Amino acid sequence: MGLRSKGSTMTSQGLQAMRKEDRAYNSEQSGAARRQCKIAVEEPMPDYTPEHARAGISAKLPKLETWPNHFPGYEITIRFPEYTSICPKTGLPDYGTITIHYEPKKVCLELKALKMYLLGYRNLGIFYENAVNRMLRDIVTAVHPAWCRVTGEFTPRGGLFTNVEARWPRRGAR
């Protein structure tokens, strides 16, 4: 009985002959030649610089506005599924979802101003980690919450999912 392969019939003898040819071909290849297999890159990417690392941290963004809170002791969760920014090294766009979770004290974030603030990242060159920590810093400065957590869930790039979480007060802080 033959083996089916892409619409044709192959006998077990034919399959054994193919395997023998493959082994012969592989043995002809030197070990060094197999180890030198590399992806061709026309231009090497520049190394990371201190400018890449600092990119976007102090850029001017729209102001976060607040309004008076009349009911202390509750939590607010805000999700922004349309986050975009630019990788400062490659210039490629980054996409993700930003979640802001906090307990307000005297004031709350005004949502339209928050949306404009988050849209301000759209053309900003900034790394994921810096963006999330900058957002936390700016929100804490504007609202002075009891606590705050900002989470960035970034879409896969090169097969890697990245989640970044920043908290205030920091873990272990007194």
**Architecture of the structural domain at 50-168:** 2-Layer Sandwich (3.30)
Among 47, 87, 138, 148, the active-site one is 87
Instruction: Give the range among 35-39, 52-56, 96-100, 148-152 with minimum mean pLDDT.
Output: 35-39
pLDDT number for residue 8: 40
pLDDT number for residue 1: 46
Could you tell me how many helices (H) and strands (E) the chain has, helices first? Answer: 5, 8
Is 94 catalytic? The answer is yes
pLDDT number for residue 128: 93
Pull the structure tokens for residue 173.
């802080």
Model pLDDT for residues 44-80, shown as the tens digit of each residue: 556 778 888 889 999 999 999 999 999 989 999 999 9
Model pLDDT for residues 113-160, shown as the tens digit of each residue: 999 999 999 999 999 999 999 999 999 999 999 999 999 999 987 788
CA distance 3 to 29: 29
CA distance 169 to 74: 17
Among 37, 47, 94, 148, the active-site one is 94
pLDDT-based confidence at residue 36 (cuts at 50, 70, 90): low
pLDDT exceeds 50 at position 22: yes
pLDDT number for residue 172: 75
Is 22 catalytic? The answer is no
Neighbours of 28 (CB within 10 A): 8
CA distance 44 to 33: 22
pLDDT number for residue 50: 86
pLDDT exceeds 50 at position 110: yes
